[in-house]
Amino acid sequence: MKYLTVNGIKILFSNEKNILEIMKKKCIDIPTLCYHKELSVYGACRLCIVEVEGRGILPACSTLPENAMQIRTNTERIKEIRKIIIELMLANHDRECPTCAKSETCSLQILSRRFGIDEIRFRNVTNKKSKDSSTYSLIVDPSKCVLCGSCVRFCDEIQGIGVLDFMNRGAQSKICPGGNNMNLLSSGCVYCGQCIRVCPTGAIVPKSEVNYVWKALSNPNKKVIVAIAPAVRTAIGEVFGLSDKNGTKIAGKIVSALRYIGFTKIFDISFFADMTIVEEANEFMDRLEKMKNIPMFTSCCPAWVIFVEKYYPDFIPNISSCRSPQGMYGSVVKKIMPKILGVSKENLVVVSIVPCTAKKFEARRHELSKEGIADIDYVLTVHELVRMIEESGLDFRKIDISSFDMPCGFKTGAGIIFGTSGGVTEAVLRNIMNNNGKCDKDVIDANKFTRFDFVRGDEGLRKVKVNLNGKDLNIAIVHGLKNASKILESIKSNDNEKDKYSFVEVMACPGGCVGGAGQPIYKNLNVRNARTKMLYENDRIIKFHNPQDNLYVSKIYKDHFGNPGSKQACEYLHTRYKYAKKFKKVFEIYRPLNDDYVKINICFGNNCIQKGAKDILKHIVKFIENNNYENNIGISISICLEKCSKGPIVTVAEEVIEFCNFELAEKTIIKKLRDKIRG
């Protein structure tokens, strides 16, 4: 067995990839701002340095462990270097910490306290940069960025989108979407917010709507209704130091807190998840019968829906037309509650509390409104709920437990497990397979399907098979958008006959909603797994497990919508999606001081990005810098040149290059430069 000697103590190791991993497993906390186990090693912050005998000071994140290595982690020299690194970061950082949304969880602030930094020896060179608040979901503050690159790597390596990247060099370096002048709204961002989770500072945070909700609550003419998503109850206890095996006590405390705060009715979005399942299962069976738009994709994750709209528009007809549980919540409540509460629709304010930043965008979709009135008025994340509880002065740990309001507070276990990857699939199977089919794997109850353990798990792509009325159905469960791209490309190429899917569940966030960007920040994957386990435990102890057993859902249908798939149901419980083609806009990246230069334009439309436009841009920039062409060439990016089937599209001095690659771009640039010299 191989070993290291760390600070005089022998530590065994086996197949760990770097020294940092070994330390973490042995509960030795080496400071770092840029290391995440889920991502590639970048080594930007250099805080994880250790002293290796015979080799000097090395970064623990990128140093391979070797047998009999002698390592020291806290020498005076190392501590001084770490302090200098942190002070240099702080000297170039917006230090308005009390007003920062991430103040309590900011890694830079935590490390500053840990290393006893009470003064900064370097001159403050902070250059206040403007915030990007162009989207409904996120706010980007480059003044708080430490250039760790975690957001860039996550967006590229896990989500496969690559919206964010480094721009410029030296003191002018920054992270932004695509071009220097581009904002998130103009980019291919899908608002999943996973960049928030890995950002160590407050450089990327959810866009808060707390003040708007407080304003509505203080208006005597308004009735404010709120509902919490299933995954919310699994995480809020982490903030207040409470443990709850199945989340029921914490859910009860949340209800009490919301009542104290002043909400008129408190509902459970799990109720509307039950409705979603009933409607989605009906739609799926109808599609199967007609063999139309198969496979059917789930529609409960708004970031996934945006992803398809922007990057794979050919698959839009395959997305279930069912609204997400949040979408159904807003529509149903705005329909039935004005009469019950004796208030006009205009004075009914509907708020949802979710683990997701993309839900903020979803609530603003014009498809989720009627007669100019939005179905969902405001969307809060768990972070924002915690803030409201703290602002109210409530002691969450000691608060009593209350029950949700009826009818929309009743739910089955199927609605609860919506919050984790595989939960939607299992809920749909419970609905359609009960007494109608059999599975290719054992289930708990052979007569009545209540659990489908074989769809559960944490793999990014899971494939299962069920038999429905004698017909085999291939089903895929996917989380993480890079995995979603893989399965979409597989379906497009149709290269594997046995993988022809009937039903595909996709969630943008790893692990599903339990890993959403609106949840408390976590680095250890065990935290996410514990949240998932809590949802399944809640499902286990609840009395009803199948959505068709929710009597209140049945009553809502009877009183307002008739049968699943009816005309009324389609109007209120379904929606439509469309190709989210970006508007035409040009962003300059390089512009020489003189006006006589070769102009290069690269299309950054969704399709071109998917086909490698970002790599072409990087190659051209490197080509210009290596050849000292900064004064001869100008670069811009545009959205969009409308030649989506022929991308990537690059224009060099008005010559349009279709199906462009590095070689073609470089060859054309050299030719145009020579023509200009001869000219």
- Buried b / exposed e over 78-109, threshold 16 CB at 10 Å, is beeebbebbbebbebbbbebeebbbeebbbbb
From 300, 322, 608, 660, the catalytic residue = 300
Encoding tokens for residue 51? 């002293």
Q: Does residue 100 share a domain with residue 7?
A: no
Domain boundary among 183, 206, 229: 206
pTM: 0.86
Task: Look at residue 6 and tell me if it is in a domain.
Answer: yes
* Separation CA 533–CA 245 (nearest Å): 8
Predicted local confidence at residue 130, as pLDDT = 86
Residue pair 349/264 in contact by the 8 Å Cβ criterion: no
Active-site residue 359, yes or no? yes
Task: Look at residue 580 and tell me if it is in a domain.
Answer: no
Share of the chain above pLDDT 90, in %: 55
Q: Does residue 603 share a domain with residue 524?
A: no
Q: Does residue 564 share a domain with residue 498?
A: yes
Task: Look at residue 579 and tell me if it is in a domain.
Answer: no
Residues 543-561: what's their mean pLDDT?
90
Share of the chain above pLDDT 70, in %: 94
What's the burial of 471, exposed, middle or buried (CB within 10 Å: 0-12/13-18/19+)? Answer: exposed
Active-site residue 362, yes or no? yes
Predicted local confidence at residue 440, as pLDDT = 45
Active-site residue 189, yes or no? no
Across the chain, what does the average pLDDT equal?
88
- Assess whether pLDDT exceeds 70 at residue 546: yes
Q: Does residue 597 share a domain with residue 492?
A: no
Predicted local confidence at residue 399, as pLDDT = 93
Q: Does residue 34 share a domain with residue 153?
A: no
What are the tens digits of pLDDT across the range 319-351?
999 999 999 999 999 999 999 999 999 999 999
Q: Does residue 288 share a domain with residue 160?
A: no
- Type of residue found at 341: L
Q: Does residue 607 share a domain with residue 513?
A: no
Task: Look at residue 80 and tell me if it is in a domain.
Answer: no
Residue pair 4/17 in contact by the 8 Å Cβ criterion: no
Task: Look at residue 109 and tell me if it is in a domain.
Answer: yes
Residues 89-116: what's their mean pLDDT?
88
Q: Which CATH number characterizes residue 93's domain?
A: 3.30.70.20
Confidence category of residue 679, pLDDT binned at 50, 70, 90: low
How many CA within 13 A on the CB side of residue 56? 0
Strand duo 265-268 + 174-177: pairing = unpaired
* Separation CA 222–CA 213 (nearest Å): 11
Active-site residue 283, yes or no? yes
Q: Which CATH number characterizes residue 69's domain?
A: 3.10.20.740
From 513, 608, 644, 660, the catalytic residue = 513
Encoding tokens for residue 81? 């270097």
* Separation CA 178–CA 187 (nearest Å): 7
- Assess whether pLDDT exceeds 90 at residue 573: yes
Q: Does residue 419 share a domain with residue 368?
A: yes
Residue pair 197/524 in contact by the 8 Å Cβ criterion: no
* Three-point CA angle 238, 244, 248, nearest 5°: 115
Q: Which CATH number characterizes residue 633's domain?
A: 3.40.30.10
Q: Which CATH number characterizes residue 367's domain?
A: 3.40.50.1780
Q: How far is CA 418 from CA 137, 182, 515, in A?
A: 22, 35, 13
Residues 163-187: what's their mean pLDDT?
78
Residue pair 354/227 in contact by the 8 Å Cβ criterion: no
Task: Look at residue 578 and tell me if it is in a domain.
Answer: no
From 320, 324, 485, 502, the catalytic residue = 320
From 238, 283, 384, 426, the catalytic residue = 283
Q: Does residue 172 share a domain with residue 140?
A: yes
Domain boundary among 573, 596, 618: 573
Q: Does residue 434 share a domain with residue 293?
A: yes
Predicted local confidence at residue 445, as pLDDT = 39
Q: Which ranges constitute the DSSP H helices of 323-461?
A: 325-341, 358-363, 382-391, 413-416, 423-433
Q: Which of 78-92, 221-235, 521-535, 582-596 has the lowest mean pLDDT?
A: 582-596
**Helix (H) / strand (E) containing 239:** helix 236-240
**Phi, psi (rounded to 5 degrees) for 29:** -90, 100
Residue closest to 249 by CA, chosen among 137, 396, 407: 396
Predicted local confidence at residue 444, as pLDDT = 36
Q: Which domain holds residue 161?
A: 86-123+130-206
What are the tens digits of pLDDT across the range 224-276?
999 999 999 888 999 998 888 888 899 999 999 999 999 999 999 999 999 99
Task: Look at residue 504 and tell me if it is in a domain.
Answer: yes
Q: Does residue 495 share a domain with residue 607?
A: no
From 53, 367, 391, 459, the catalytic residue = 367
Encoding tokens for residue 323? 């609204």
Domain boundary among 74, 105, 138: 74
Query: Domains in the chain: how many in total?
Result: 4
Task: Look at residue 597 and tell me if it is in a domain.
Answer: yes
Encoding tokens for residue 502? 């009937």
- Type of residue found at 653: A
Q: Does residue 298 share a domain with residue 194?
A: no
Active-site residue 104, yes or no? no
* Separation CA 38–CA 156 (nearest Å): 12
Active-site residue 367, yes or no? yes
From 280, 309, 384, 505, the catalytic residue = 280
Active-site residue 331, yes or no? no
Active-site residue 76, yes or no? no
What is the 3-state composition of the chain as percent helix, strand, coil, each rounded to the nearest 5? Answer: 40, 15, 40
From 209, 309, 362, 505, the catalytic residue = 362
